[in-house]
Structure 1
Amino acid sequence: MSTPPRISCVILCHNYGRYLDQAIRSCLEQEPGNFVLHEIVVIDDGSTDETEEVCRRHEGNVKVIRRSQQGFGQSLTDAFLFSTGDWVAPLDADDWFHPSKLRTCAEAMTGETLFIEHWENVVDSHGNPKLKDPHPGGNTSTLVVHRGTALSLLPVSNEISFHALREANRGVVLPDPLIFYRVHPHSMTDRSTPGVSQDYRAEVCLGLSDRLRAMHGNPPPWATTRQLRRISQHFRALASGHRVESALQRNQRLSAVILIPRMLIATLRARDPIAPWLRSLSSAIAGRPLVRLATGQGEQAQS
């Protein structure tokens, strides 16, 4: 029998001490399966609340990396640099895992799979359901990534960078809602100010596109040069889509229309499905954004 995969659960925390205990316990209380819970790491990114006290209560069960605040991107990068398991399951400290998370994901760690994504249950600040049905994932807590492979993409500013592995056909998407994703007024992502979240995502996608293009001459083991070219254009198309959405949220309809050809060119070069471009085109013509603000979730999957 093959050796069970060793999984590192890495919790990213900045002033989420009020939620941290639940996040840690959700890692400790995982159902048994064909995996080894190798370690639980808490990256305390300069918290000034009760985070340190909560970590002390779990002394012996968690490894704590405490430092001055360096931001989310560095914390996510460090989740892979400082962990030692075969796979890394990052967890935002305001979310928590379903008890079957690791068992279910371990079952998908077969063949050439290097990236696992799953769905989520969306809850409010008190943990009560915010959406009636499970929602597609893509954010930090819905991913499990092969650590050795992830190192080739570091440093990262956002979890979107790891989606490149899915686009290289090295990932699987599980329809199981294996986390509870908390939407609350103190979330790091601003989804209430028009255009802010979309502009941020556009910058991340453009940065990733440039990074993948720079890897053309010396491709990593998980992709060929041809794949990297296509994936680079895929994230360029996504960036244009986010820019269109940002312009519409800011009532800048003309700017949105001007961006539509750029999105189409990147879509064709990436050989992506045309449907997302058609939705953005229709939205730009109508002058109506695709994403609802202040709900935490949009009508269109943008990751």
Structure 2
Amino acid sequence: MKAVAKILSVAPFAIEPMALNELPAVPKVSIAIICFNYGRFLPECLDSCLAQTVPADQIVVVNDGSTDDTAQVLDGYAARFAQILPIHQLNGGICVATNAALAACTGEVVLLLDADDAMAPERIEKVLDALRRRVDGHLPGWTHNSMQRFSEGQPHLGHAPYYAGGRAPQGWLAAETLMAASCPVLSLTSGLAFRREVLEAIGLLDADRMMYQDLQLCTAAALISPSAWIPEPLTRYRVHGASATKGSMVSVEQIKAMRRRAARFDVWLRAQLERRQTGASALWRPLDDQGGYLWLCFLERWLSGEGKDLGLLRRALRHPDTRHGPRQYRIYYYGSLLLTRGLFVSYSRLIFGASPLKSVLRRLLGRA
């Protein structure tokens, strides 16, 4: 408890959860959807939004400069359903589109959804129930729910995200987030919902194209309000060619992009803390004291042909973030000690890519 108190309070700075009032008996609910060239999936997405046991008051869909039939599909639905608000804009990237969608949402509760995914009929109902139940003595300001992964012809590819031991994080996560310099919530966009007060406290997302909107939202929200976990798979998460990774962490270009993203995110997150209280960014550890960033720096040098910087690798492997982090990360990191550069790249493709062998490994590890 002393360690937690030290993280949450570094004199004269302190992090306290936002005080929230009870939701109205019948709160207004918005759904925010981003669509780029997913016109073929949009009908299933919108039909799931329209089939909720608790109806949405507003469904905001941002067409982010699509070049397929997204505009026609969206306008056709908007002509038939008054609650659908279409926004057509030039392509600006996912964070620009998310900012536009959230700015247009007027609901007291906002659910996020990607246009290639769909919702279970009870999602709004379950989110509202979760937001009304106190967690750690506080009303939660946001929720994250389990998602059912599926693909064309394969309706049951397992649930995501995966949490070791099935124990998903919830409650007031500020201490854990600050201690690890990362949010323990791993949910993607389509599994997230927020009370308006939390979104207003977060403000605009960094709109750079390399940034991820779900990472920004989860980390900032964890420092503002407790979260509630909903174990039921309330979202159907589509796995297809555009969403399945082609293999990250396997090229110098990808590693450089990840390191730049980490540095940009660090600046954005510190600004979030400063908005809450001047000087509070001191609570967020510097990049060179974050195990994941040290690992990226090592990997970039190694894959660039500079050889293994064993001193930097030793710092990354001995860092508390690594030693106390997920076991699969430790296994991956330690592979760099034993493998040549070429073999390590192949190893990375197996771990981060999409292949039949990976599906077999997921089933063997109980993560299918």
Residues 154-205 of structure 1: CA distance to partner in whole angstroms, max 9, x if unpaired? 2233210012123666223322211111121133x74336357666555444
What RMSD, in angstroms, separates the aligned Cα atoms of the two structures? 3.9
Other-structure match for 1:135: 160
Range 79-88 or range 272-281, more displaced: 272-281
Other-structure match for 1:148: 197
- The TM-score, its normalising length taken from structure 1, stands at 0.77
Residues 206-225 of structure 1: CA distance to partner in whole angstroms, max 9, x if unpaired? 322222223444426xxx93
- The TM-score, its normalising length taken from structure 2, stands at 0.65
Distance 1:57 1:147 in 2: 29
Contact 1:168-1:231 at 8 Å conserved across structures? no
Distance 2:289 2:107 in 1: 29
Q: Secondary structure at the match of 1:179?
A: strand
Which amino acid counterpart does residue 232 of structure 2 have in structure 1?
D
Work out which of the residue numbers 277, 283, 303 in structure 2 matches 1:229: 283
Confirm whether residue 119 of structure 1 aligns to residue 174 of structure 2.
no
Cα pair distance change 1:114/1:2, threshold 3 Å: closer
Which amino acid counterpart does residue 191 of structure 2 have in structure 1?
T
Other-structure match for 1:44: 63
Work out which of the residue numbers 352, 356, 359 in structure 2 matches 1:292: 352
Aligned identity (percent) is 21
Could you tell me which runs of 5 or more consecutive residues in structure 2 were left unpaired when the two chains were aligned: 1-21, 133-137, 162-185, 340-346
Cα pair distance change 1:234/1:78, threshold 3 Å: farther
Contact 1:122-1:135 at 8 Å conserved across structures? yes
Q: Secondary structure at the match of 1:212?
A: helix
Q: Secondary structure at the match of 1:58?
A: helix
Which amino acid counterpart does residue 192 of structure 1 have in structure 2?
G
Range 15-24 or range 58-67, more displaced: 58-67
Other-structure match for 2:344: none
Displacement of 1:129: 2.7
Other-structure match for 1:55: 74
Distance 2:57 2:188 in 1: 23
Q: Secondary structure at the match of 1:12?
A: strand
Contact 1:209-1:235 at 8 Å conserved across structures? no
Other-structure match for 2:124: 102
Other-structure match for 1:210: 267
Range 177-186 or range 191-200, more displaced: 191-200
Q: Name which structure has the greater RCO, CA cutoff 8 Å, separation 6+.
A: 2
Work out which of the residue numbers 58, 67, 84 in structure 1 matches 2:106: 84
Displacement of 1:13: 0.6
Cα pair distance change 1:135/1:248, threshold 3 Å: farther
Which residues in structure 2 correspond to 1:156-167 (within 5 Å)? Answer: 156=206, 157-158=211-212, 159-164=214-219, 165-166=221-222
Residue correspondences, number: 288
Other-structure match for 1:93: 115
Which amino acid counterpart does residue 15 of structure 1 have in structure 2?
N
Which amino acid counterpart does residue 236 of structure 2 have in structure 1?
F
Displacement of 1:87: 2.2
Distance 1:256 1:182 in 2: 40
Contact 1:115-1:144 at 8 Å conserved across structures? yes
Which residues in structure 2 correspond to 1:264-279 (within 5 Å)? Answer: 265=319, 267=321, 273-275=324-326, 278-279=330-331
Contact 2:41-2:115 at 8 Å conserved across structures? yes
> By percentage of residues, which structure has more helix?
2
Cα pair distance change 1:24/1:257, threshold 3 Å: farther
Contact 2:30-2:107 at 8 Å conserved across structures? yes
Q: Secondary structure at the match of 1:42?
A: strand
Q: Secondary structure at the match of 2:59?
A: strand
Q: Secondary structure at the match of 2:154?
A: coil
Distance 1:266 1:281 in 2: 14
Q: Secondary structure at the match of 1:41?
A: strand
Could you tell me which runs of 5 or more consecutive residues in structure 1 were left unpaired when the two chains were aligned: none
Other-structure match for 2:230: 174
Distance 1:184 1:56 in 2: 25
Contact 2:142-2:195 at 8 Å conserved across structures? yes
